[in-house]
Structure 1
Amino acid sequence: MNTKKIMIYGAYGYTGELIAREAVARGYRPLLAGRDAKKLQPLAEELGLPAMAISLDATETLERSLRDIDVVIHCAGPFSATAEPMMRACINAGTHYQDITGEMEVYRAAHELDAEAKAAGIVLCPGTGFDVIPTDCLAAALHKAIPSATHLTLGFDSDSGLSPGTAKTSIESLGVGGAVRRNGKIEVIGHGELTREINFGRGEKFAVAIPWGDVATAYYSTGIQNIEVYIPMSPRRAKKLKRMNKFRWLLRMNWMQNWLKGKVDKSVRGPSEEKRSEQQTWVWGEVRNDRRGERKIGRVVTANGYDVTVSGSLAVMEFLLGYKGDGGYFTPSKLCGYELVEKLPGSGIIKIGID
């Protein structure tokens, strides 16, 4: 039995529960926490674990509770609202922080808290799930292949559907638009504005640029100034997505966001364990230096996104439980090395070549 103290906040969400169950299977006894005692207690009783209902608004109580905790795995979305209060509480309590967000604004907020985390001697490592371990590790490996690279393009082709939390994050982006990094700065672009053909690992596919977290994190990991991220999409669906640009003003209104997220609560459910075991993800990347005529392609195959999130979160947690280094903000690859993705169950090795 491991005696290190872990808190899983948001443990009764779909992914939080998966992480809690796997942590118990590995011999850990995490403290399950969240805002809703009624949702929390049944899982805690089933797993025989301690539980604590606590609001992120109860700052003093939260910080006091965290002082005995070594690592927090934060699973409670929407992270745009919940991540910063938890990160600040961890800094004040001296507790390492990690989460499973894919939201760029959370990564940017964590990066801005780097100096405070260093002073407190704690690690802030958001994005320790499928968002963004596979792509972040591939980006770091590609950068090692061409250290002078000026452009990085990433993408993934997944059989996995969306979890309720990821679906809600996607809804938030509808009213904002897409995003890329150009000359070191994040730029908002129209939905469906950038398209190209990509062989993610199982043949050429039409692909569309999306506002994925690596637009922020890959820059912190590699320093590459120009970054785009793509997923496969049918040309017909891409045209529909592009037409949504006319309604971005409407899609970002609070009542519309709440209505769309309510539909997610009623209709989106995470897949069964059997379904997850049948799914894989093909991760692809391209790095280049046009001035020198250099270009490399990288690929890695992983398990489905949910299982990567579970195993990735626990791999980073275990790394932090034995961590003796400096505090600060880290991406997964900066903290654990780009080999992290290769160590996860269901992952292959990163392969880099000219195509």
Structure 2
Amino acid sequence: MNDKKIMIYGAYGYTGELIARAAVAKGYRPVLAGRNAQKLQPLAEELGLPAMAISLDATETLERMLGDIDVVIHCAGPFSATAEPMMRACIAAGAHYQDITGEMRVYQQANDLHAEAQAAGVVLCPGTGFDVIPTDCLAAALHHAIPTATHLTLGFDSDSSFSPGTAKTSIESLGVGSAVRRNGKVEIIEHASLTRKIDFGRGDKFAVAIPWGDVVTAYYSTQIPNIEVYIPMSPRRAKKLKRLNKLRWLLRMEWVQNWLKNRVEKSVKGPSEEKRAEQQTWVWGEVRNDRRGERKIGRVVTANGYDVTVHGSLAVMEYLLSYEGPGGYFTPSKLCGPELVEKLPGSGTIKIGID
């Protein structure tokens, strides 16, 4: 396999390293890249892989380095700052782009770049990890079950702990609020202002709406105009989250964000391989057409979120290595089909019913 075909940017992060090791185990020899040469080199030497330290600000150098790369797996957050320059560099260089973000803004940026990517024959597919493969595939399957659906609700229940990158992304949303889609438009709402009971697959649980990526991606995949996403949360924790609404102005400040992220950097570690192996994720969805009185429920069980991210990223990468279709922005289900999640190790089949 050609050493120059795949680049993993941000390979020394928790998830980037997992993807790099899994790629090597499958026989690939990706180029490892990132902004910090000191963090990058030890992993590259251990795996016997080429390494490139490149700043995303060095546009001309980055585009030149991507000239002989077929697929970039972008793993360097915060994606709100790093995704757009990498997407633009991939379009200029003719390399397909995928990433592991869950940030709504990145999906909107990719959609805005659709025409440029299409003209260049480059695929932009952000969200090829747990954010948002399982929920996106379930959304597409539910839409197929009720093509005239007007409302889509998604959610997931997991015992998995956060990686540093995921924790930092969550911090960014604290100062903004939660989000839903109403009548086709994204609306920012207060934290913990939408709650309901949901049986994700382990019995009824109190759940809270969160600003998950599907508020954007599920709309692009299904065109359903009303979308909400939930996770289980104790009522006590929901009350604490609700109290933060009064402090959103403070939590948006750069120095507060940096302080919180520095604390994460020092204290949060991703789950071990043994811990990940013990953890599954229950993904749930509901689709409705209230005018017709139609409603269906869908569920799929997957592996731990980080294992889904590793296997999902590599599955999309392999798909793109032999891809001969048009360029542009795609959600995972639009690119690979709703069955993508069912093909990942540890995943079951999507089941659609009325309860």
* TM-score with structure 2 setting the length: 0.99
Is residue 2:283 matched to residue 1:290?
no
CA–CA distance in 2 between the matches of 1:347 and 1:100? 18
What's 2:199 paired with? 199
1:300 aligns with 2:279: no
Which residue of structure 2 lines up, in the alignment, with residue 327 of structure 1? Answer: 327
Give the distance between the partners of 2:200 and 2:237, measured in 1 at CA: 19
Instruction: Spell out, residue by residue over 1:324-353, the C-alpha distance to the aligned partner (whole angstroms, 9 max, x if none).
Output: 000000000000000000000000000000
Q: Tell me which amino acid in the other structure corresponds to 2:80.
A: S
Are 1:213 and 2:213 counterparts? Answer: yes
SS of the residue corresponding to residue 172 of structure 2 reads: helix
Contact 1:2 1:27 in 2 (8 A): no
Structure 1 residue 4: Cα displacement: 6.3
Q: Tell me the distance in 1 between the aligned counterparts of 2:70 and 2:39.
A: 24
Kindly state the Cα deviation for residue 255 of structure 1 after the two structures are TM-superposed: 0.4
**2:346 is the counterpart of 1:343:** no
Kept in 2: contact 1:117–1:327 (CA 8 A): yes
SS of the residue corresponding to residue 72 of structure 2 reads strand
Q: Unaligned regions of 5+ residues in structure 2, if any? A: none
* CA distance in structure 2 between the partners assigned to 1:65 and 1:241 by the alignment: 44
Give the corresponding residue for 1:10.
10
Aligned to 2:124: 124
**Amino acid corresponding to residue 37 of structure 2 in structure 1:** A
**Residues 174-204 of structure 1: CA distance to partner in whole angstroms, max 9, x if unpaired?**
0000000000000000000000000000000
In 2, the alpha carbon distance for the partners of 1:184 and 1:272 equals: 40
8 Å Cα contact 1:4/1:321 also seen in 2: no
Structural RMSD (CA): 0.6
Matched, 1:151 2:135: no
Q: State the alpha-carbon separation in 1 of the partners of residues 351 and 264 from structure 2.
A: 37
Identify the residue that residue 178 of structure 1 maps to in structure 2: 178
Q: TM-score, normalising length from structure 1?
A: 0.99
1:269 Cα offset (Å): 0.1
State whether residues 23 and 30 of structure 1, in contact with CA within 8 Å, keep that contact through their aligned partners in structure 2: yes
Distance 2:225 2:85 in 1: 30
Cα deviation, 1:19-74, whole Å, max 9, x if unaligned, reads: 00000000000000000000000000000000000000000000000010000000
Tell me, yes or no, if the aligned pair for 2:4 and 2:31 is still in contact at 8 Å.
Answer: no
Indicate yes or no: 2:289 matched with 1:276: no
| Alignment partner of 1:167 is 2:182 | no
Measure the CA separation in 2 of the matches of 1:165 and 1:25. Answer: 24
User: For residues 82 and 118 of structure 1, what CA distance do their matches in structure 2 show?
Assistant: 21
Between the aligned partners of 2:121 and 2:303, the Cα distance in structure 1 is: 33
Separation in structure 1 between the aligned mates of residue 222 and residue 190 of structure 2, nearest angstrom = 26
- 8 A Cα contact 2:3 2:31, kept in partner: no
Whether 2:65 is the aligned partner of 1:86: answer no
Q: What secondary structure sits across from 1:127 in the alignment?
A: coil
Structure 2 CA distance for aligned equivalents of residues 67 and 328 of structure 1: 19
Question: Are the equivalent residues in 1 in contact too, given 2:4–2:68 (CA < 8 A)?
Answer: no
Contact 2:128 2:313 in 1 (8 A): yes
For residue 127 of structure 2, give the secondary structure of its aligned residue in structure 1: coil
Q: What SS does the corresponding residue of 1:67 show, helix, strand or coil?
A: helix
Count how many residue pairs are aligned between Structure 1 and Structure 2. Answer: 355
CA distance in structure 1 between the aligned counterparts of 2:162 and 2:142, rounded to whole angstroms: 28
